[in-house]
Structure 1
Amino acid sequence: MASAAELRPAEDRDAVMSAIPQNFDPASLGEQLRSAHTVTRPLMLDLIDKACRRFPSLGQSERTARLMRLIGAEAWVDATLALVELELPLWQVRRIAYDEGEWYCALSRERELPDWLDSSVEGRHSDLALALLSAFAEAQALTAEVTRPSVPSVRQPVSPLYEPVNCDHFG
């Protein structure tokens, strides 16, 4: 099955192959999703290029192949849910609601908590897949801001010439 990079023209393939998206701009991506009327293959591949870190991972070949099959079949809601599963394994769909012509979708890391305790992200749009993608992009922006090292940080050793001094005067 073809990957996202293989479906793009040759000059655009290098952007997909980087492990960390260099051109991820949550504000412009959110605006792009809000202004779209429906999901298209170029829009979905552009979103993968801009916002996805795990997609090109070699260890995820079965999941990425499934996602590419869903994109090929234009099953946009299923493709978006597969993308959430691939890219945000700790996040789950908390709520999908339709009200007055718009879909409201919430993703959460703690779905079992009451609403008032949960810090979910929400997306909304007249198209269900775009509402889910908006919530996905918002969650990706949050996880990009909170990047943590894979190992704990260690305090640097103090110089042997360093001596703590008490500056308080209690006299």
Structure 2
Amino acid sequence: MTAALRRLDPPSLSHRLRAAPTMTRPLMLDIIDNASRRFPSLGHTERTARIMRLIDVEAWADAALALVEFELPLWQVRRIAYDEGEWHCALSRARELPDWLDAAVEAHHADLALALMSAFVEVQALAVELSRPSVPTVRPAPDSFYQPLGCENFG
């Protein structure tokens, strides 16, 4: 297991988000500590200070949207809808595509901020799974019975 996967434990963080009734400061800071890659590494910048101010005044939905914008610059909110007592949130890399073509990450919760953060954690887990090394991988040595064969007919 890589260090990034050990650091981000999406099943337990996702479970905690689903089980939480409302967003709290400790939960939001835990998400930032465990699921954010850019936030801790940049230190104290204007954007991180803005997110921290939103957390301090308990503007959870605004803080969640600011964190998504900061951490996932290639992703956008595709849909936020309230239906039958739950908020449904979808994040997408190509929101101009029709729904049936888009591979959006969706989450739902009774609390808007928790629905947004659940989708955020899922995207971060997906990004860790899909990350590729900067150096191409080398194919294994061919089997000892492997014999190259030319099939050209030059006659």
The answer for the alignment partner of 1:67 in structure 2 is 51
1:127 aligns with 2:101: no
Deviations 1:10-52 (A, max 9, x none): xxxxxxxxx9574311111111000001100000001111111
Contact 1:103 1:124 in 2 (8 A): yes
What code does the residue aligned with 1:166 have?
Answer: P
Is the 8 Å Cα contact of residues 108 and 115 (structure 2) preserved in structure 1?
Answer: yes
Taking the aligned partners of 1:20 and 1:88, their CA distance within structure 2 comes to 16
1:153 maps onto 2:133 in alignment: no
Instruction: Give the match for residue 67 of structure 2.
Output: 83
What is the distance in 1 between the residues matched to 2:115 and 2:89?
A: 6
Query: What are the equivalent positions in structure 2 for 1:3-152 lying under 5 Å apart?
Result: 22-58=6-42, 61-149=45-133, 151=134
State the secondary structure of the residue aligned to 2:22.
coil
Unaligned stretches of 5+ residues in structure 1: 1-18, 159-163
Identity of aligned residues (%): 66
Counterpart contact for 1:21–1:51, Cα < 8 Å = no
Shift, 1:153, TM fit: 2.4
* TM-score for the superposition, normalised by structure 2: 0.83
- The residue identity in structure 2 corresponding to 1:58 is L
Q: Could you list the runs of 5+ residues in structure 2 that have no partner in the other structure?
A: 151-155
For 2:5 and 2:147, how far apart are their aligned partners in 1? 46
Give the aligned partner of residue 153 of structure 2. Answer: none
TM-score (norm 1): 0.76
1:50 maps to amino acid = N
Q: Which has the higher contact order (CA 8 A, sep 6+)?
A: 2
Name the CA distance, whole Å, in 2 between partners of 1:49 and 1:57: 11
Matched-pair contact (CA < 8 Å) for 2:4–2:128: no
